[in-house]
Structure formats: C-alpha cells, structure tokens
Structure 1
C-alpha cells in the first residue's frame, strides 16, 4: 500500500526542492540545536521581508529563537549585527550549511524541528 502524487504535487515538490533545503546542526556557542531553511539564491526575499520579519515568521511557526544569515560577496552576514558581534558564530554556521553559496539566505531556528522550516518555506512560497 502506498500513495501517489498528482501532477500538481510533483510540480510543487520540484519547485520546492529547487528553492529550499532543510539542514540540521548545532551552534554550540549559543547552546542551540537548530534546523536551517536554506533559501537557494534567496537574497530576493530580503526585498520583500526584513530580517526581523523573517525572524518573526520563524517564531510564529514555532521557533523559540531564530537567526537570519545572508551569504553575500563571499561574507556571511547576520543583519543587523556587526561582524565583530557574530565572529564566534560564523565558523559554526559554515559547518552547518556546507552547501550554502553566494546570495543564499539561511533561516536557523531553535529548537531543532524540521516542521518549523517546512512551514516557513510554504509561507514564503505563498507570499512570494
């Protein structure tokens, strides 16, 4: 016994997997186990939502805390924090998302629960 997807379901999964990736990891310096939603080439999302709005979206989806990370010009940015404030965390983030590239946006949420990241991705698909 099993199930089969409709053509619409197959199309949705193809679109989703081309835009998003779910990642699990740990930020030891913060004491967080996290699930990350990688938005592939997602810098466009920052034209629609501020980092604070994305963080609030993660909290509304069930996160206790969230970090928004932008991969831009070879640098990991965590707006609105400065580089000095986040230097200890950056190496840990690089280890969590080894597939992250230029123009990707990463939403790390704690506690580690992939359902939070899936819910965020569906909201973003509906709003963008």
Structure 2
C-alpha cells in the first residue's frame, strides 16, 4: 500500500467514525422505534414547495459525498458509479438500522437513497480527479 493510499484509507475510516458518531451515537435514545417506509416522501414535499425538506435532502446527499470521493484513492483504482452507489447503500443502511435498533433516530428509506446518491456522486468525482492526477505524473 502506497503512502497516499494509506492516508486515504485513514481519512475514509475517520470520516466514517465521525458520520456514525454524529448520526447515531451522540443522539439520545428515544422511548419508541421511529421509522418511515414511505418511499420518496421527502421529495414529494420538496415538489410541493418545502424548502426545509429540500435542505434536508441536499444535506443527506452531501453526507456521504466525501466518502465516495475518497474511495478511488483508498483503493487506488477507478470506482465505478454502481460501486459508489453500493458502498453508499451499505453505509447508509448501517446508519439507519442502528438508529432504529438503538432508538436513536428515524429510519428512513429516503435517507438511504439520498446518502447513496451522494456517495455515488463522490465516487464519480473522485475517480475523475484521480484520473486527472495520474495523467500529471
């Protein structure tokens, strides 16, 4: 493993620890299980004019974008869009399941979709940047 690749792995793991801490472990437990399985409910609210929900959806997309951007550097290879999407699904599903089981948040399918899209976009952008940097060596 090259030095830069090791730093990218460390950055990705640190980022994941911060994300899990902020979305699960720093929240106070609730008394009940909270979940919303209504697919795309947040985007319907956006199309009805909810600026607050638009902000929430954009923030959820941005949440895992840095992780996706680190993947090509951590694995030292191009990450395809579907690999970034799959990584986002796994990480986000893990967050949502922990929120549900530990009663520390709201399990939402929309969050999984938005987080996964962000990770996918980050992986695509990171792969482009990695390719451009490799061409300058």
**What is the TM-score of this pair, normalised by structure 2?**
0.27
* Larger CA Rg, structure 1 vs 2: 2
Greater strand percent: which structure? 1
